[in-house]
Chains A and B, each alone.
Chain A
Amino acid sequence: MASGEIDVAYVAKLARLALTPAEIEKFGAQLATLLDQVDVLSRLPVDGVSATAQVIPQTNVARDDEPRPSLDRETVLRAAPQREGAYFRVPRIIGEDA
């Protein structure tokens, strides 16, 4: 495990998080410290061990595909940052020449 090096600006881009240069420096130092701490895991022999995603033996829980009422549209839209009639109003997502 490589530790102590993390390209915070790149990771922030992946996470859709705008950071100031001061934040990049601060978080970079803190994350480096944390990565040093979690590096103890490299000492744990895990060859041949299966990964645990969650601990309860449940797989593929399915239910019948039956129509049923969902949340009230008006109630949900009231919480929207911007709406237009019965729709969420969002910034343009597809470019004009796309």
Chain B
Amino acid sequence: MNPLDRTAADVARAVNAGETSAAAVAAAAHARIAERDPAVGAYLAETADLAREHAARVDARVRAGERLPLAGVPLAIKDNMCVAGTLTTCASRILEGWIAPYTATAVQRLLDAGALPLGKTNMDEFAMGSSCENSALGKTANPWDLGRVPGGSSGGSVAAVAAGEAVVALGSDTGGSIREPAAFCGVVGFKPTYGRVSRYGLIAFASSLDQIGPITRTVEDAALVYDVMAGKDPMDATTVDLAVEPAAAGLREDLKGVRVGIVREFGLDKLEPDVRAVYERAYADLERLGAELVEVSLPTADYGVATYYLIAPAECSSNLARFDGMRYGLRVEGADVGQTYEATRAKGFGDEVKRRILIGTYALSSGYYDAYYVRAQKARTLIADDFKKAFASCDAIACPAAASPAFEFAAKADPVSMYLMDYYTIPMSLAGLPSLSVPCGYATPPGARGPLPLGLELSAPLFAERALLGIAHAYERGTRHATLQAIPPLPSAVTA
């Protein structure tokens, strides 16, 4: 079997056992990307030489007797994470051609554990979007249906894993940017608790929300990657100094004694009938596996999108002030320094980034700061409190990861309709909770060429990653939506 079609746990076991070499895995990955990426467009830049270098290092370490948790595991990296010596663009013209001078901690920890860096993946520019269509540098298609979006903003990373162009990937999630695209592409996407994984080397979008997480084919692989990269980093003062209990050791096979909260305000009656049927079955499956379903209430969840679209743009407008054409990236000369700033940013940023900078600047400006930004921060307190109350009666919360399967390109041209795609993921982001999407079935919307995957979102209290991954694992093993068809049948145009 091609190593690209296996799980990370399986590849690492085979490489550690000497059944195959990391060099052979790197070669297979390069061939697979050459075969499929012209149609999928998951990568902005392949780093085949770097993957080969790391493979040689992994093989030497294994020969010397070391056992590495991610030995030879093919890894795709979202292009907002720095990898020394590689292009790192955030899919933006303003960073086109920029070569990172250092490596992000999360990436470094995976490389030290034996992962092979295959390349940098496409994304919505600066991680702002839910379809990957806001990339200034490339187009990524959903491997299940090339006429549809992969979701976003980590669209390239999920597409790479779904298309067998990587075994695991790193994404970043600010308001749903790992979970929504994972749902759209039928893979597992996991956002750990805010502060669990170092953001050193992650180019900032909204600093109180951004979090790096794994995108994988199985929950076990998500736990494996998480265990390697989680934990305090002296280079990121927001990482928490709490022991990380290995999640891979806490994976369970059933849900006996687990209470799963179903959110009253997320009633399934808003969904299309076939989508609704999938989630009704997912809840029933949780119960069949031993969970007790309890109704919980998040009265402020409906305010999540409004709260997020003030806080995230406010932080973005501040973070992106650094792109001024002076020290790195694009510079467009103007008559004076002020005009140079303005012309550089006008040419370098795409429309969605400009919109968010404008909203954020407005929300922070004199006279509006209290009415918008501070009010949103207070709403955030209420949303986080609602979750605390809900978790008094349950161990995890289950809900849809998105209201629909992947949509067609250009279907959400209106910015506000795109913002609503994150309705189910934003509240958990605002509360900082660990949250993931696990495949839960398929729906065939009108016009689709075949069934499209859906994701079940599971969320847990702060720092309860181990329990969350354990519950998701039991669900995955008890339903087998993910493992039945980990690699979707790519359209014949791609496989031919």
Contacts and interface: CB of A to CB of B under 8 A. Distances in A.
Given A18-B342, A18-B343, A41-B375, A30 B349 contact: no
A8 B362 CA distance: 9
Nearest to B196: A56
A41 B307 contact: yes
Give the most central of B193, B237, B374: most A CB within 10 Å.
B237
Contact of A55 (B329, B333, B357, B462): B462
Contact of A12 (B324, B358, B376, B380): B358
Nearest to A43: B303
Interface in B383-426: 384, 415-416, 419
Interface string A39-82: 11110101001111111101001010000000110011011111
B201 to A, nearest CB: 12
A91 B338 CA distance: 9
Given A41-B376, A46-B379, A80-B327, A55 B432 contact: yes
A46 B237 contact: no
B28 interface: no
B342 A16 contact: yes
Interface residues of B, number: 71
Q: Is the interface of B mostly helix, strand, loop or mixed?
A: helix
Interface residues of A, number: 51
Contacts of A78: 99
Interface in B317-345: 317, 321, 324-331, 333-334, 336-343, 345
B203 to A, nearest CB: 13
Contacts of A18: 339, 342-343, 345-346
B113 interface: no
A31 B362 contact: yes
A30 B418 CA distance: 13
A86 interface: no
A42 B370 CA distance: 12
B306 A40 contact: yes
B358 A51 contact: no
A95 to B, nearest CB: 9
A23 B343 CA distance: 14
B416 A34 contact: yes
A30 B346 contact: no
B355 A31 contact: yes
Contacts of A44: 300, 303, 375, 379, 382
A40 B337 contact: no
B194 A54 contact: yes
A94 to B, nearest CB: 9
27 contacts: A15-B357, A27-B355, A30-B355, A31-B362, A38-B306, A40-B303, A41-B303, A41-B376, A44-B375, A46-B375, A46-B378, A46-B382, A49-B381, A52-B384, A55-B194, A55-B431, A55-B462, A56-B194, A63-B234, A71-B101, A71-B102, A81-B325, A81-B328, A81-B330, A88-B327, A90-B337, A92-B336
Interface of B: 98-99, 101-102, 193-195, 207-208, 234, 237-238, 240, 300, 302-303, 305-307, 309-310, 317, 321, 324-331, 333-334, 336-343, 345-346, 349, 354-355, 357-359, 361-362, 365, 371-372, 374-382, 384, 415-416, 419, 430-432, 462
